[in-house]
Amino acid sequence: MLSCWADGGPFLQKYCVSCHGAKAPAGGLALVAPAGAVWDRVLEKVSTGRMPPLGAPKPGASEVSEFVGWVEKTHGQDVVGGPGRVTSRRLNRAEYNNTVRDLLGVALRPADEFPLDDAGYGFDTVGDVQSVSPLLMEKYMAAARRLSQVAVFGETFSSKPTKLARFMSKKSQDDPTPNTLPFSLRGAIYGSFRFPVAGEYELRMRVGNYRPRINMTPRHTALFRKRNLTAEEKAEFAELNLKAYPPVDMVVTVDGAPVFKETVEGNIDYQYAHGETVVRVKVTAGEHAFRASFPEFAGMANPQDNMNTDGRRKLFIDYVDVVGPFAVTGERTRPLFVCSEETTECAARILGRLARRAYRRPVTEAELGALTGLAAQVRNAGDSFAESIRVGVQAVLLSPHFLFRAEPVARAAEAVSAHELASRLSYFLWSSMPDELLAQAADDGSLRRPEVLRAQVKRMLADSRSDALVENFAGQWLGLRGLDKRKPDPKHFPDVDDELVESMARETLLFTRAIVREDRSVLDFLDGKFSFVNGLLARHYGIAGVRGEGFERIDLQGGRRGGVMTQGSVLTLSSYATRTSPVLRGRWVLENLLGTPPPPAPPDVPALPEGVAATTASLRKRLEQHRANPNCAVCHDQMDPIGFGLENYDAGGAWRDKDGEFVVDASGTFPGGAAFAGPEGLRKAMAAQSGLFVRNLTEKLFTYALGRGLERGDRGAVDGLVRRLEAEGYRMSVLLDGIVMSQAFQMRGKNAD
């Protein structure tokens, strides 16, 4: 019996052409006489349930099956495919910094000065969009020179204590001064410094203190200035001589550990505290975080209580100077020097070991000969043995075998080598080179055994270096890297400062790390009933019982918070600087969580009324008027209801019941027909779309791990992994295992002719 979908036309007419017709097709995709690559897009969207869009009439499973089968058969779509081909990738900025850290044992971060990496498919691990500009080559050469100098000779430092750096805090939330530290309403100052050698240093800081010690009322001032007070006046003066502000403890920490505490009294002359506070610390060489703050301020009911009427903070740390070293502790270690004889054989051992680790594979005789020959030329020119090694190190760092993760050309689909597999794994989980244990498993070939590979994954995830997976994957998937550019306007949200925004990002990263490290269900991203907050974030959220600056894990109660949608980072990212946007928030959920982004807005669409017009109607009402335009309704009917469900949060992520004079109406109908009320109802409606979320997360993590966009041949692997996740409780370990054990991860496809 011939199916009614046999030629595909009726299916397209019924479910697709209303949006993708010849006139103004959504997303620029017209399905009138589709051909070629258009069928690839149709197949991918329909087979995964992403199209028709949420809220539109949905075909039945049998209809989808018949249509997909017809497309595959008629238009030659091979859903099995091969493992895909990955373009040679250079190390991105995070990978470069992490790799030189693990390779050379140095604390330098030269890639911070490199040009920003391009991103493809949402990630900077994709080789197809990477390039090497002349500026980047200059940076590579400067970095190789500096890194080789420090690795061989160590950091240079003065024999006498010297002021090494001064760190200034911003004077206000909108202070444009460059190279200043984040602004804290609560007066904290925090940052990091790379100490050149292990030793003792001093942190010298000045406290800005505009808190009066006593209540200087006019009568009190008159008595204070008067001489020869009477007994009655003395009694009156004593009664008036009350402290205006209680003493506050200032605490200094290094890498989170307290190293100093002092009590700061009110200041009689409303000026800086007299002199400097000097804190002597002993540190190892390398990067260390410092912080000077008033921890009890973290739970201030209103951080504006620390602000004077003239805009100055009442109490804050004005600057921190780093001075030293006063004493050098321990001997310099040179991990590169695996032998001490100044001979050709020793040079070969040093450079051979370095190159083997830097190239992430065994080194050929020709490669080692070129390095030792270069070192010999340096010595023959009259330079020292150490300088010859430095030049060899510099050459290694400039080699394309170090800078790029290139794999051989394949004439047919084939398994990658054990060393290539080790590199794929380490840069996926650590954004860095393989360590010795992983390299040994590659050397003896055991890494190709599934049980060994799985054991390595488990070991690597337990290592602190796996935080790179959280920071670099979640930072790009959820958009956290752009949070500092989307901060609320301080004039409209004066309580949201740099410190609070950084705490929001920290919450989301800690939440993601818990899902990875504790092997939790990935559905926690939608409605996890726990989170991590410190005192200032808890106060911002209205959560009681958490004080201080350290983050605590909490169980969420009451339904207001749950999952990433209700975290301050996401709510801020998906708002304008001055107000919320149901459109942006709805689009963020559709794109980042469900993988169903609406098409771009058509041209010449009028903006929402602002200014005086915005005070005459609620944002919801203005958007309803906006959706009256049929050209707008197609997409806004998908986005706006989701955004309305998050309207109880302002543009800084704080809970609210009113938007100006208008009571917030957070009800809506989820695309597809499920009505909900408020964020808790929205999260339940989202749970019904868990299939779309799991598929989207799977595809995102696959893309990040493989360093390429997914192809039609990957659909079978994704489908299988989604089914496995559903069967095994959606655990994160299942997702990671499915990717690492996949054909796409362990093989490479044939190169294009």
CATH number of this structure's domain 162-328, picked from the four choices 3.90.1280.10, 2.60.120.260, 2.102.10.10, 2.120.10.30: 2.60.120.260
Task: For residue 667, give every residue at least 6 positions away whose Cβ sits within 8 Å of its Cβ, in sequence order, or none.
Answer: 644, 645, 675, 676, 677, 678, 681
- 612 confidence band (pLDDT: 50, 70, 90): very low
Angle between helices 450-462 and 418-429 (to 10 degrees): 30
Exposed, middle or buried, 451 (CB in 10 Å: 0-12/13-18/19+)?
exposed
The SS3 call for residue 219 is: helix
pLDDT of residue 257: 96
- 113 confidence band (pLDDT: 50, 70, 90): very high
Cα–Cα distance measured from residue 617 to residue 627, given in angstroms and rounded to the nearest whole number = 15
DSSP string, 667-735: EEEETTTEEEEHHHHHHHHHHTTHHHHHHHHHHHHHHHHHTS---GGGHHHHHHHHHHHHHTTTBHHHH
| Separation in Å, CA 292 to CA 112, 255, 264, 275, 678 | 25, 12, 13, 16, 40
- 563 confidence band (pLDDT: 50, 70, 90): very high
Cα–Cα distance measured from residue 84 to residue 86, given in angstroms and rounded to the nearest whole number = 7
- 745 confidence band (pLDDT: 50, 70, 90): very high
More confident residue, 614 or 563: 563
pLDDT of residue 21: 62
Cα–Cα distance measured from residue 442 to residue 99, given in angstroms and rounded to the nearest whole number = 18
Is the separation of the CB atoms in 191 and 255 below 8 Å? no
Question: Is residue 753 over pLDDT 70?
Answer: no
Work out the average pLDDT over 631-650: 85
pLDDT of residue 3: 43
The residues that bridge with 38 in the sheet, in sequence order, are: none
Question: Is residue 30 over pLDDT 70?
Answer: no
Cα–Cα distance measured from residue 683 to residue 689, given in angstroms and rounded to the nearest whole number = 10
pLDDT of residue 233: 86
| Separation in Å, CA 559 to CA 114, 177, 529, 531 | 44, 41, 9, 13
Cα–Cα distance measured from residue 278 to residue 291, given in angstroms and rounded to the nearest whole number = 14
Helices (H), 292-364: 344-359
Exposed, middle or buried, 429 (CB in 10 Å: 0-12/13-18/19+)?
buried
> In this structure, what DSSP letter does residue 315 have?
E
Work out the average pLDDT over 624-647: 78
How would you label 606-631 residue by residue, b for 16+ Cβ within 10 Å and e otherwise? Answer: eeeeeeeeeeeebbbebbeebbeeee
Exposed, middle or buried, 584 (CB in 10 Å: 0-12/13-18/19+)?
middle
> Token digits for 358?
């830097």
Express as a percent the part of the chain with pLDDT over 90: 66
Count of other CB atoms within 10 angstroms of residue 655: 15
**Share of the chain residues as helix, strand and coil, in percent rounded to the nearest 5:** 45, 15, 40
The residue to which tokens 């190892």 are assigned: 284
The SS3 call for residue 243 is: strand
pLDDT of residue 271: 59
- 118 confidence band (pLDDT: 50, 70, 90): very high
Mean pLDDT estimate for the chain: 88
pLDDT of residue 2: 34
Cα–Cα distance measured from residue 416 to residue 448, given in angstroms and rounded to the nearest whole number = 10
Angle between helices 732-740 and 715-727 (to 10 degrees): 150
pLDDT of residue 547: 92
The SS3 call for residue 734 is: helix
More confident residue, 753 or 299: 299
- 158 confidence band (pLDDT: 50, 70, 90): confident
Which of 92-106, 147-161, 598-612, 711-725 is the most confident on average? 92-106
> Token digits for 559?
């339904």
Count of other CB atoms within 10 angstroms of residue 271: 10
Cα–Cα distance measured from residue 499 to residue 540, given in angstroms and rounded to the nearest whole number = 12
Cα–Cα distance measured from residue 37 to residue 14, given in angstroms and rounded to the nearest whole number = 22
Dihedrals φ, ψ of 482, to 5°?
A: -95, 10
Q: Report pLDDT digits (tens) over 393-404.
A: 999 999 999 999
| Separation in Å, CA 102 to CA 95, 107, 153, 177 | 11, 9, 18, 34
The residues that bridge with 342 in the sheet, in sequence order, are: none
Is the separation of the CB atoms in 203 and 321 below 8 Å? yes
CA angle 692-693-696, nearest 5°? 85
> Token digits for 72?
């595959």
Cα–Cα distance measured from residue 586 to residue 55, given in angstroms and rounded to the nearest whole number = 13
pLDDT of residue 447: 98
The SS3 call for residue 291 is: strand
- 79 confidence band (pLDDT: 50, 70, 90): very low
More confident residue, 668 or 742: 742
Q: Report pLDDT digits (tens) over 549-561.
A: 999 999 999 999 9
Question: Is residue 242 over pLDDT 90?
Answer: no
> Token digits for 11?
């299916």
Sign of the torsion angle spanned by Cα atoms 16, 22, 24, 29:
positive
Dihedrals φ, ψ of 164, to 5°?
A: -90, -30
pLDDT of residue 176: 87
pLDDT of residue 619: 81
Q: Report pLDDT digits (tens) over 659-706.
A: 988 999 999 888 767 889 999 999 999 998 899 999 999 999 999 999
HSE-CB for 175 with a 13 A CA cutoff: 19
Closest CA to 101 of 391, 431, 469, 510: 431
CA angle 427-430-432, nearest 5°? 55
Dihedrals φ, ψ of 293, to 5°?
A: -160, 180
- 620 confidence band (pLDDT: 50, 70, 90): confident
The residues that bridge with 202 in the sheet, in sequence order, are: 280, 323
Cα–Cα distance measured from residue 522 to residue 311, given in angstroms and rounded to the nearest whole number = 45
User: What torsion do the CA atoms of 478, 480, 485, 487 make, to the nearest 10 degrees?
Assistant: 90
Work out the average pLDDT over 554-569: 96
Cα–Cα distance measured from residue 334 to residue 153, given in angstroms and rounded to the nearest whole number = 8
Q: Report pLDDT digits (tens) over 303-314.
A: 999 998 888 899
Cα–Cα distance measured from residue 280 to residue 290, given in angstroms and rounded to the nearest whole number = 12
Dihedrals φ, ψ of 737, to 5°?
A: -65, -40
Cα–Cα distance measured from residue 681 to residue 692, given in angstroms and rounded to the nearest whole number = 18
Question: Is residue 91 over pLDDT 80?
Answer: yes
More confident residue, 253 or 299: 253
Question: Is residue 483 over pLDDT 90?
Answer: yes
Q: Report pLDDT digits (tens) over 533-542.
A: 999 999 999 9
Question: What's the whole-model pTM score?
Answer: 0.89
Cα–Cα distance measured from residue 649 to residue 638, given in angstroms and rounded to the nearest whole number = 20
Cα–Cα distance measured from residue 693 to residue 526, given in angstroms and rounded to the nearest whole number = 9
pLDDT of residue 670: 81
Is the separation of the CB atoms in 25 and 643 below 8 Å? no
Q: Report pLDDT digits (tens) over 184-221.
A: 999 999 999 999 999 999 999 999 888 877 666 778 67
pLDDT of residue 38: 66
Domain coordinates in residue numbering, the chain: 9-74, 162-328, 480-513+520-684
Q: Report pLDDT digits (tens) over 326-375.
A: 999 876 677 899 999 999 999 999 999 999 999 999 999 999 999 999 99
pLDDT of residue 410: 83
Cα–Cα distance measured from residue 469 to residue 480, given in angstroms and rounded to the nearest whole number = 14
Cα–Cα distance measured from residue 100 to residue 103, given in angstroms and rounded to the nearest whole number = 5
Length of the chain: 753
Is the separation of the CB atoms in 695 and 702 below 8 Å? no
| Of the candidate ranges 156-170, 328-342, 451-465, the one whose mean pLDDT is the lowest | 328-342
pLDDT of residue 29: 66
Work out the average pLDDT over 271-286: 84
Work out the average pLDDT over 728-736: 98
